[in-house]
């Protein structure tokens, strides 16, 4: 069986991190279990892989063949800075559109030996796959509503199976799409708990007491404005305590977020670390990992923090946080966008008003469901 995973681009982000873990576990099974020895894995991207971390990863695993749908996409994107005016901007967009249509036509023969296509990130390959008569799986890293928001819900009929990351996703999907409800199933993201713990032991430490947030700084989804203003409220109401907020990650919104943070009274206590290859040392030493998102698929950072014995504080958004944190027994939930509530939770943690050990104990008991071996068997059985 030849299986092709389709993912738009390999950037530093949660979906890509989980993707690599999934591939690693599948490769281990193929190498060790005779039942899987004839499975071959390919990866198809829209653009050439440029991130050094992933360039090296694929180079070290030559058994995975990689293909680029649009080899010139990086060039077209690079031209944007020099052609962002009329009429060159329109000319570039039209040329790129025709280029992609031509490459899609060529794809029908290019991938004729693939048996199963896995559209791994939110139906982003439906234009390429809709005319290919092979088995297709859509892997959704978001909410059911998100599918409608980005206009891909009408393309779900092209797929033989739909994978969601949480039970809540499956429930909502069946309500929204009753005609294809039998196609949907849930598979959690795999988390190698022992690997996370080992990396934390090797990772850098941050002095003093602090809260931390880990994400790609790219859009309003993560709602870092709520996090920054909540920390400001906490800081002012507690007479400028010697507590820091670490924001771990990078992305296109990093500059604007730094500017926002610089305008606050707590500015000197807000630390932007940038992208860290190993953030787990910082996460393990935090008073709490805080997730302020308005929407999630399955927030991996919460599971990683649970594995490290770090208290999780999360916005009660769709989907994942409530399911992961066992309705508030394995972590603290707050209303999405509620600055005051989050500030009060920070104060309770700072003043030791909470039984943190109880949250952490419940969290660790629930981690078996994310074991890579368990998840990998579900994937292999599906294939």
The pLDDT value recorded for residue 272 is: 97
Residues whose CB falls within 8 Å of the CB of residue 23, separated by 6 or more in sequence, listed in order: 5, 41, 43, 61, 64
β-strand partners of 211: 245, 288
The model's pLDDT over 25-81, given as tens digits with 9 standing for 90+, comes to 999 999 999 999 999 999 999 999 999 999 999 999 999 999 999 988 888 888 888
The segments of the chain whose pLDDT lies below 70 read: 219
| Distance between CA atoms of residues 86 and 256, nearest Å | 27
Residues whose CB falls within 8 Å of the CB of residue 180, separated by 6 or more in sequence, listed in order: 156, 157, 162
The pLDDT value recorded for residue 215 is: 93
Same fold, 2-191+370-382 and 193-368: yes
The pLDDT value recorded for residue 119 is: 97
Within 10 angstroms of residue 106's Cβ, the number of other Cβ atoms is 10
CA angle 19, 213, 274 (to 5 degrees): 75
The pLDDT value recorded for residue 202 is: 95
Residues whose CB falls within 8 Å of the CB of residue 148, separated by 6 or more in sequence, listed in order: none
The pLDDT value recorded for residue 294 is: 93
Helix (H) or strand (E) holding 180: none
* Strands annotated E in the chain: 2-7, 40-45, 65-68, 116-119, 135-139, 161-164, 184-186, 209-214, 243-248, 270-274, 288-291, 312-315, 332-334
The pLDDT value recorded for residue 142 is: 85
Closest CA to 299 of 313, 309, 286: 313
- Domain boundaries 2-191+370-382, corresponding CATH code: 3.40.50.2000
Output the furthest CA–CA distance in the chain (Å, rounded): 67
- Locate the domains of the chain by residue range: 2-191+370-382, 193-368
Closest CA to 346 of 205, 213, 204, 197: 213
| Distance between CA atoms of residues 246 and 271, nearest Å | 5
> How deeply is 97 buried, as exposed, middle or buried, from its count of CB atoms within 10 A (0-12, 13-18, 19+)?
exposed
The pLDDT value recorded for residue 52 is: 93
Within 10 angstroms of residue 59's Cβ, the number of other Cβ atoms is 10
Closest CA to 14 of 218, 379, 299, 217: 299
Q: Which two tokens stand for residue 212?
A: 């931390």
CA distances from 208 to 211, 271, 273 (A): 10, 13, 15
For the whole prediction, is pTM greater than 0.75?
A: yes
| Distance between CA atoms of residues 40 and 31, nearest Å | 11
| Distance between CA atoms of residues 47 and 98, nearest Å | 16
Q: Tell me which of 3.40.50.10490, 3.40.50.2000, 3.30.70.270, 3.30.465.10 is the CATH number of domain 193-368.
A: 3.40.50.2000
């Amino acid at each position: 069986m030849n299986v092709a995973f389709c993912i738009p681009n390999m950037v530093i982000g949660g979906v890509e991190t989980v993707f690599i873990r999934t591939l690693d576990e599948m490769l281990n099974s193929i190498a060790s279990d005779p039942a899987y020895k004839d499975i071959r894995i390919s990866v198809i991207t829209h653009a050439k892989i440029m991130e050094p971390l992933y360039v090296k990863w694929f180079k070290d695993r030559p058994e995975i063949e990689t293909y680029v749908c649009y080899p010139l996409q990086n060039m077209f994107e690079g031209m944007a800075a020099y052609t962002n005016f009329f009429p060159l901007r329109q000319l570039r967009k039209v040329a790129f559109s025709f280029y992609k249509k031509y490459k899609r036509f060529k794809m029908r023969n290019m991938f004729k030996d693939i048996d199963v296509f896995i559209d791994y990130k939110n139906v982003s390959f439906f234009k390429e796959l809709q005319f290919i008569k092979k088995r297709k799986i859509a892997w959704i890293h978001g909410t059911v509503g998100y599918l409608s928001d980005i206009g891909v819900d009408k393309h779900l009929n092209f797929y033989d199976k739909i994978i969601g990351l949480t039970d809540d996703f499956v429930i909502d999907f069946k309500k929204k799409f009753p005609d294809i409800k039998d196609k949907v199933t849930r598979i959690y993201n795999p988390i190698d708990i022992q690997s996370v713990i080992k990396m934390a032991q090797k990772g850098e430490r941050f002095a003093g007491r602090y809260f931390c947030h880990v994400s790609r700084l790219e859009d309003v989804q993560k709602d870092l404005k709520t996090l920054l203003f909540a920390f400001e409220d906490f800081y002012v109401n507690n007479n400028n305590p010697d507590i820091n907020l670490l924001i771990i990650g990078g992305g296109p919104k990093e500059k604007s977020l730094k500017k926002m943070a610089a305008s606050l009274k707590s500015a000197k206590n807000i630390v932007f670390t940038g992208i860290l290859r190993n953030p787990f040392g910082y996460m393990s030493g935090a008073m709490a990992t805080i997730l302020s998102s308005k929407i999630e698929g399955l927030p991996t950072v919460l599971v990683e923090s649970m594995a490290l014995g770090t208290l999780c504080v999360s916005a009660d958004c769709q989907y994942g946080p409530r399911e992961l944190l066992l309705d508030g027994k394995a972590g603290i939930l707050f209303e999405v966008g509620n600055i005051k509530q989050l500030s009060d939770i920070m104060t309770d943690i700072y003043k030791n008003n909470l039984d943190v050990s109880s949250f952490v104990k419940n969290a660790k008991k629930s981690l078996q469901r994310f074991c890579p071996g368990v998840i990998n068997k579900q994937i292999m059985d599906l294939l």
